[in-house]
Amino acid sequence: MYRVLYRKYRPRFFADVIGQPQVTDTLRNELKNERLAHAYLFTGSRGTGKTTCSKILSKAVNCLHPNNGDPCGECEMCRGIDEGTVLDVVEIDAASNNGVDDIRNLREEAAFTPSSAKYRVYIIDEVHMLSIGAFNALLKTLEEPPPHVLFILATTEVHKLPATIMSRCQRFDFHRITPRSIADRLEYVCDSEQVGIDDNAALLIAGIADGAMRDALSLLDQCMGHGEHITEEIVRKTAGLADKSHLLSITDSFMSKDSAAIISIINQLYRDSKDMARLCEELISHFRELMLIKTMKNPRDIMVMSDDDYKRASEQAMAIPLTDVVNAIDILQSALEKMLRGANRRIEMEMTAVRLCTPSFGNAVSIDPALETRVAKLEKAIIGLSEISEKPSAQRKSTPAAPQMKRPSKEEMEKLRKDAVPMTQWPEVIEEMKKYSPTVASGFTGSTAYISGDLVLVDSKTSICFDILRTNDKLRAHIRDVIKNITGKPYRLGRYSYPDEVQEEDPLAQLVNELKSSGIPVET
């Protein structure tokens, strides 16, 4: 049966592990000096060698003929562990064996001496998936294990482990493997499989793998199905990536603010079954490359691309302002989040193209649409309030009352005020209004209210709140609903007094009087 590449070329010795010298050198020295710990914690991103080093370590501690800290790979124990026939080396998947009973069974087994090996080794993969009860069950055994037991814990999310577990282990952090190291390993594998591969193709696979050797070998396995020589075009086709020329063309159209050209490219890629979220990710990576070129002195060392691509990217970077590049990344990331939340990916990508090519884009700042709506409402309210405060007092008094707040006769007003009692819940009504609109609620600041029969009579020194009520039917209905929810009774709205009965105080005059009373000279 065919063996996939990441299994076929899994390292058998510490010296074969790529890109993790901080782990392999330390483990070899500990084995040579017989300073073996009882528990190890291997942490790092996927595909960086945690399981591989766990298997090598399990062989090294049980090898009949160890060689300078490495297992020999030829003895009965080494072959048995590789084939999975040594029962003393146990691999546990914590994702599916994460209960208390699973760990209790492990503790009971650990008490027995090994049947054939020197050490009974427990490799617990994805250990962060254990339940709290399982961690507690493991804790005592991990702290004081039998002398013949070795624990190796592996995880991609070390922050989820309890501190009590981590403090009882020797921790080793696995780093992401550099693109150049991955590319060299891929070329070695291709040479062993008698398959040709371009260096640009190997680097592209390394960039897609994002530091994970296993992901790189899996993608290489797919690419080998296309023929005996792997090119950059084959890698892009296999991984579902857009051609680099498309990314460069989109960037050129972005620079010229030609949204129609970008949408045309998007539609072409969509017809070719390219995933729009993946295209968005590629554009983010491309604009990140432009950002690095513009901000770093020597960006070439950390950029995974061919020399020709780097030259073209440098030409584009020099022609685009840095603010445009940063804003483009921001807009693309927002679009990607919406796509991953379920938005129509094609439409979202086309909308993003239009946003990128807005003429004022270079000076634009990405703002949450909800915040834009709130700001627009606030500006409209401020303009309305300014117009009200600028009207002469006599002009404000002559404003006709709205039909919904029809003025009663003098006798009716006297009777209403005579029967009126203060409404103690009015401040609570204003607080609820703030949830609806803080701007509208501010117009009722300082107002009071009285209850007379089925009326709530509002009293205020200024007419701002009455002007707001007169022009907004929806707001009046909302206030009545709020009052009903708070008091439990339905009420109509009315005024406690009218301008010809109580002289309103001009807000500007009030401010002048307050300044004068504070000793501040004011010219009028």
d(CA 483, CA 300): 66
pTM: 0.61
Does the structure show a pLDDT above 50 at 311?
yes
The answer to whether position 400 is within a domain reads yes
User: Looking at 363, 387, 421, which one is the last position of a domain?
Assistant: 363
pLDDT value of position 399: 41
CATH of the domain at 398: 3.30.300.180
Residues of the chain with pLDDT > 70, as a percent, come to: 84
Q: Which two tokens stand for residue 366?
A: 């990405």
In terms of domains, do 10 and 145 share one? yes
Q: Is 242 helix (H, G, I), strand (E, B) or coil?
A: coil
Cα separation of 95 and 124, whole Å?
Answer: 10
Question: Which residues make Cβ contacts (< 8 Å) with residue 326, sequence separation at least 6?
Answer: 291
Q: How many domains does the chain have?
A: 4
Residue 165, both tokens: 């577990």
- Token pair 């994002």: residue: 210
234 and 249 together in one domain: no
Cα separation of 25 and 299, whole Å? 30
Q: Phi/psi class of residue 19: alpha, beta or left (left: φ > 0; alpha: ψ in -120 to 50)?
A: left
98 to each of 42, 93, 123, 124, 136, how far by Cα in Å?
18, 8, 14, 10, 12
- For range 136-142, the mean pLDDT: 87
Same domain? 197 vs 275: no
256 and 307: one domain? yes
The pLDDT tens digits for 315-360 are: 888 888 888 898 899 999 999 999 988 888 999 999 999 998 875 5
Instruction: Spell out the residues 6+ positions from residue 218 whose beta carbon is closer than 8 angstroms to its own.
Output: 4, 5, 6
Domain limit, last residue, from 121, 153, 174: 174
Higher confidence at residue 14 or residue 497? 14
CATH number of the CATH domain containing 222 = 1.10.8.60
- Are residues 158 and 211 located together in one domain of the fold? no
Residues counted in the chain: 524
What pLDDT shows up at residue 522? 54
Q: Is the pLDDT of residue 361 over 60?
A: no
* Burial of 195 (C-beta count, 10 Å sphere; 0-12/13-18/19+): middle
Contact criterion met (CB below 8 Å) for 433 and 444: yes
pLDDT of residue 404: 45
Q: Which domain holds residue 187?
A: 179-239
DSSP string covering 336-364, please? HHHHHTT--HHHHHHHHHHHHT-TTGGG-
* Cβ atoms < 10 Å from Cβ of 446: 13
Both tokens of 398, joined, read 């002559």
Residue 514 lies in a domain: no
Together in a domain, 127 and 25: yes
- 460 and 348 in a single domain? The answer is no
* CA–CA separation, 86 and 61 (whole Å): 13
Q: Helices 179-192 and 213-223 meet at what angle, rounded to 10?
A: 40
Indicate the pLDDT class of residue 418, thresholds 50, 70 and 90: confident
pLDDT of residue 188: 93
**Is residue 521 a part of any domain in this protein?**
no
* CATH number reported for the structural domain that contains residue 311 in this entry: 1.20.272.10
| Statement to judge: residues 134 and 78 lie in one domain | yes
For 67-120, the pLDDT digits (tens) are 888 999 899 999 999 888 888 999 998 888 888 888 888 888 888 888 888 999
Do 381 and 481 fall within a single domain?
yes
pLDDT tens by residue, 4-40: 898 889 999 998 999 899 999 999 999 998 888 999 9
Distances in Å between the alpha carbon of 371 and those of 254, 326, 335, 436?
26, 21, 17, 15
Pick the range with the lowest mean pLDDT from 50-64, 134-148, 170-184. Answer: 134-148
For residue 229, tell me if it sits in a domain: yes
Do both 155 and 184 map to the same domain?
no
Torsion angles phi and psi, residue 36, rounded to 5 = -75, 130
- Give bridge partners of residue 149 from the DSSP assignment: 120
* Residue 153 in domain: yes
Instruction: Indicate whether 314 belongs to any domain.
Output: yes
**CA nearest neighbour of 102 among 141, 63, 47:** 141
What tokens appear for 315 in the block?
A: 């030409």
- Name the 3-class secondary structure at 231: coil
pLDDT per residue over 268-280, tens digit each?
A: 889 888 889 989 9
370 part of a folded domain: no
CATH number of 109's domain? 3.40.50.300
**Residue recorded with tokens 């490219």:** 265
Q: Are residues 189 and 233 in the same domain?
A: yes
Do the Cβ atoms of 493 and 479 come closer than 8 Å?
Answer: yes
Domain boundary among 363, 396, 424: 363
Distance CA 127, CA 123 (A): 9
311 with 331: CB under 8 angstroms? no
Contact 14/54 with Cβ under 8 angstroms?
Answer: no
> How high is the pLDDT of residue 523?
57
The mean pLDDT value for 218-223 works out to 92
278-to-146, 243, 340, 395 alpha-carbon distances in Å: 51, 12, 11, 62
Q: What is the pLDDT of residue 501?
A: 53
On whether both 71 and 211 belong to a single domain, the answer is no
Count Cβ atoms within 10 A of the Cβ of residue 301 and give its class: 0-12 exposed, 13-18 middle, 19 or more buried.
exposed
Is residue 389 over pLDDT 60? Answer: no
Q: What percent of the chain has pLDDT over 90?
A: 32
Residue 512 lies in a domain: no
Question: CA-to-CA distance for 128 and 291, rounded, in angstroms?
Answer: 36
Cβ burial 471-492 (10 Å sphere, 16+ → b, else e): eeeebbebbeebbeeeeeeebe
Q: What's the CA gap between 230 and 234, in Å, rounded?
A: 6
